[in-house]
Structure formats: C-alpha cells, structure tokens
Amino acid sequence: MNAARTTATALRVLRQLRHDPRSIALLLAVPCVMLLLLRYVFDGSPRTFNSIGASLLGIFPLITMFLVTSIATLRERTSGTLERLLAMPLAKGDLIGGYALAFGAVAVVQSALATALALWGLGLDVTGAPGLLLLIALLDALLGTALGLFVSAFATSEFQAVQFMPAVIFPQLLLCGLFAPRASMQPVLEAISYAFPMSYAVDGMTQVLTHPDVTSAFFRDTAVVIACALAVLVLGAATLRRRTP
C-alpha cells in the first residue's frame, strides 16, 4: 500500500459522498432516529431500553455502514470507475484502504452522534466510561464498512448487494445475544455464535454497561472485532476484480 495513493482515494470518495445527501442522511441520521424510536417504544420500561440500548448503539451503525458501503462500492464498480482506477498504478490495497479510510472517517462522526444522543439525550445509563462505549460503536461501524466492501465484490447489482444483508447481518443479529443470552441457546447455535464478530461487539457493549473499569473480556472483545475487520478488508482486497463483469 502507498500512503499517498490511499489518502487520495479516500479524499475522492469523501468528495463524492458530499454530493449524495441521501447517503449522508442514511449514515448520520438513521442510527440516531432508530435509537430515538427505540427509547420511546420502551417509554414505560426504561430498564429495557437501558439493557438493550447499548448493544443497539453498536448494531445500528454496523448495519447502516454495511448497506451504504456495499452499495456505494458496487456503484463505482458497475459504472466502470473502479476498472479505470485499477488500470492506473493503483494497488488493490490502496483502493480498499482508501474506501475504508473514507467511510471510517464518516463512521467516527456517526458513532459520536449516536453515542452522544444515547447518553445525554435519551438517558442511557452505563457504568463504564462513555469513551469506551464510543470506541465499541466506532469499531462496530468500521466492521460494517469492512463487511460492505467485502460483499460488494460478489454482487452485480445494487439489489444483489442489499440481498447480502439477510445472509451476512441477520444471522449475526439473531445469535449475538441481543434477544437471548447465548448460553441459553441450543448448543450448536451457541457454538456458531462464537464465530460471529457481532457477538463480541455486543459482549463489549455489555462490559461497558455493567463494569466501571476496563475488563479483560472487554480487551478480548475489542481485539476480536478489530481482527475481524482487518481480516475482512484483506479478503476484500484479495477478491477485488480488476475487470467489471
């Protein structure tokens, strides 16, 4: 990877994103709106919101970053932009790294807005430091970015990119421990849940929610999420095709 080429790619993506207000609204506003709706869905049971709000604070950014990243990358590929870029002296790692850097910058803003709203606007009560909650939310958003970049290589249309969501996101959502403790699941499903990064993202949020200090489990969870994001980015660079089908 070349730092200058990666940065130039990231700046180009950010300039294009600036002219796409719908994507900006989806990235920045939707997680906040979903948290707001969730808070008042459980208006009569604030304890319920407090128990699942922290987990969803990480899940909502992951889902939105997955959708926008996969569709935006696919749009560039189907329009021939990626093919023209890769015809230049630009490595696949530079391209994937540039996209990850650009959407990662957006993820920072997205996570900060959602975390601020949850903590100081909606009264989410966490035992740990708010900064740790922001860190996990940011890592979840970056994981969604990496997954979106990866699956975009296997889709031939925006509709197909959206179709990957039930295959990639929904199983993780069901088995991550949000709806039921993973220990209470059928043993096979519990074993499968340990292979999903979203499980560790939810566990990390739970650690911040219930422990005042940083725990070893928190370090483990964050390390797994980071490792999964990096591994998926490497796979995305390896599977990126130089020619558009």
DSSP assignment string, 131-200: HHHHHHHHHHHHHHHHHHHHHGGG-SSHHHHHHHHHHHTHHHHHHSSSSS-GGGS-HHHHHHHTT-HHHH
Which residues of the chain carry a pLDDT beneath 50?
A: 244-245
Cα–Cα distance, 62 to 70 (Å, whole number):
12
Q: How many CB atoms lie within 10 A of CB 94?
A: 24
In this predicted model, what pLDDT tens digit does every residue of 115-124 receive, in sequence order? 899 888 888 8
Stated pTM of the model: 0.86
- What pLDDT is recorded for position 220? 94
Cα–Cα distance, 17 to 98 (Å, whole number):
13
How many residues belong to the chain? Answer: 245
- What pLDDT is recorded for position 193? 93
Helices 30-41 & 21-28 angle (0-180, nearest 10) = 40
In this predicted model, what pLDDT tens digit does every residue of 76-134 receive, in sequence order? 776 666 656 555 656 667 777 888 888 888 888 888 898 899 888 888 888 888 889 88
- What pLDDT is recorded for position 8? 80
